């Protein structure tokens, strides 16, 4: 079992359960051996760490454990699903292409004030992913990112306010080329 930082084991267990639950609905785990195998827990100490992590996830109401026809079942809750999406949001990145295809990707949005936290979250995420702001709610990148932008918009619940454009010409192109080292 690889070494996990504080909280990382719980996060990885939740992601593993979440990925499974999306496929089959719930995960039957008599005494957790499937999770032990997933994390290569070879001794009692490692299995105890996993059991404690699962207990913490249950205390946080990210998962629920119950018996069904004599079998222990672990199921991810709605809170757990949201947490898994947050992990995915944190991990999402725009992949840089080795060779630029000459297309600029513009992300524009006009998100109402009542959705200000979502607007601020979207803006921060775009900046962290390396998009360049060219106006207050207009960002640009030379790299393909439509799927990532759709996911982020859905996560924040503001996709209907986001417009994604691709263009081969943009004013200020020289300064943007310099910013992206193209």
Three-state secondary structure string covering 126-144:
HHHCCCEEEECCEEEECCC
Mark whether 47 and 75 lie in a shared domain. Answer: yes
Q: Which domain holds residue 142?
A: 93-179
Asked if 98 and 147 touch (Cβ cutoff 8 Å), the reply is no
CA–CA dist 72, 51 (Å, integer)? 13
Mark whether 83 and 105 lie in a shared domain. Answer: no
Walk along the chain (182 residues) and give the pLDDT tens digit of each residue.
Answer: 556 666 677 777 777 776 654 333 445 555 466 677 777 777 788 778 878 888 888 899 988 877 777 776 778 888 888 888 888 888 889 998 889 999 999 999 999 999 999 999 999 999 999 999 999 999 999 999 999 999 999 889 999 999 999 999 998 888 999 999 88
Asked if 149 and 123 touch (Cβ cutoff 8 Å), the reply is no
How many domains are contained in the chain? 2
Is 1 contained in some domain? no
Q: Could you tell me the CATH number of the domain that includes residue 60?
A: 1.10.10.10
Mark whether 101 and 171 lie in a shared domain. Answer: yes
Mark whether 137 and 109 lie in a shared domain. Answer: yes
């Amino acid at each position: 079992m690889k070494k996990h930082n504080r909280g990382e084991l719980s996060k990885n267990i939740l992601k593993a359960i979440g990925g499974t639950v999306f496929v089959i609905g719930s995960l039957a785990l008599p005494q957790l051996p499937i999770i032990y195998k997933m994390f290569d827990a070879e001794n009692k100490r490692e299995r105890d760490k996993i059991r404690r992590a699962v207990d913490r996830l249950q205390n946080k109401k990210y998962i629920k454990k119950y018996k069904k026809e004599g079998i222990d079942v672990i199921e991810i809750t709605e809170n757990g699903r949201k947490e898994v999406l947050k992990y995915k949001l944190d991990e999402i990145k725009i992949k840089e292409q080795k060779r630029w295809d000459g297309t600029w990707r513009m992300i524009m949005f006009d998100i109402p004030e009542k959705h200000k936290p979502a607007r601020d979250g979207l803006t921060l995420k775009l900046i962290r992913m390396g998009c360049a702001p060219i106006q207050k709610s207009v960002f640009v990148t030379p790299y393909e990112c439509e799927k990532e932008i759709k996911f982020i918009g859905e996560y924040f619940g503001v996709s209907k306010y986001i417009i994604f454009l691709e263009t081969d010409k943009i004013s200020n192109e020289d300064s943007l080329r310099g910013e992206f080292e193209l």
